[in-house]
Amino acid sequence: MSSSDDAAPDDDAAPGADDPRQAARERDLSYIVIEGVIGAGKTTLARLLAERLSARLVTEEFEDNPFLERFYEDRARWAFQTQLAFLASRFRQQKDLQTRDLFHEIVVSDYSFEKDRIFAHQNLDGDELSLYESLFALMEPFAPTPDLVVYLQSSPERLMQNIAQRGRSYEEDMDPEYIEALHEAYNYFFFRYTKSPLLIVNAAEIDFVEHEDELRELVHQITTVEHHGTTYFTPPLSRAV
């Protein structure tokens, strides 16, 4: 288990502290995935991390999904169409990742392909879920395996606050019970995840947008600390509330 106590007494003197890109190279972190429930801050962190690593950024194309707004209005009616649209989009992006990028040695993504099934099992059932599983099984072998997955584990309350703050029109009436169910499903999935090294971050106790020192420590944990299996990071309770 890793925590803030794992860091060297002088962070500036730690290997790679001043150059997270070099630290990522030394640990062969060429494909880093940031994950979390809706509102966890995964896209924001992925962008910030990609900037510091001069990495290629891959983000979900949720705004291009023509069914998404209708899904939030009537989940039962539009779940299947929405899920298949996301599956097709994510699969295309995953195949593109196999094409070498001569200008970026590192890729940072704000989602993992496997997480698609979390939403499918929350929103589909019966024949629709069976058809989805058949399609997913055909696509999964083509998705590259991350060198590290960072799971931003938040709380349903914090997730709802973040969703409200970002002000997307189709999320205005987000169902708290839906977020609670996703929160439980994500925890179930990632607490059993073994496909690649996994760093679970207590995101309910960190603000890497407003506090540069917390972002710097989180980047240090991602790029410099050795991760084998599942490790955990809880930020120190030093920030004044």
Query: Which residue would you say has higher pLDDT here, 227 or 190?
Result: 190
* 110: annotated active-site residue: yes
Considering only CA atoms, which of 44, 102, 75, 58 is closest in space to residue 179? Answer: 75
What single-letter DSSP state applies at residue 203? G
pLDDT of residue 92: 93
pLDDT of residue 96: 87
pLDDT of residue 126: 97
- Categorize the per-residue pLDDT at 103 as very low, low, confident or very high, splitting at 50, 70 and 90: low
Considering only CA atoms, which of 201, 207, 203 is closest in space to residue 230? Answer: 201
Considering only CA atoms, which of 31, 49, 64 is closest in space to residue 143? Answer: 31
Residue of 110, 147, 173, 213 with catalytic role: 110
Q: Give the mean model confidence (pLDDT) for residues 50-59.
A: 94
Alpha carbon separation from 69 to 79, 170, 198 (Å, rounded): 11, 5, 32
Question: CA-CA distance, 116 to 190, in Å (whole number)?
Answer: 13
- Report the share of the chain in percent with pLDDT over 70: 89
Question: What are 35-52's pLDDT values in tens digits?
Answer: 999 999 999 999 999 999
- CA-based radius of gyration for the chain: 18
Please say whether the beta carbons of 72 and 173 come within 8 A.
yes
The pair of three-digit structure tokens given for residue 43, joined into one six-digit string: 């896209």
Q: Which fold has domain 4-233?
A: Rossmann fold (3.40.50)
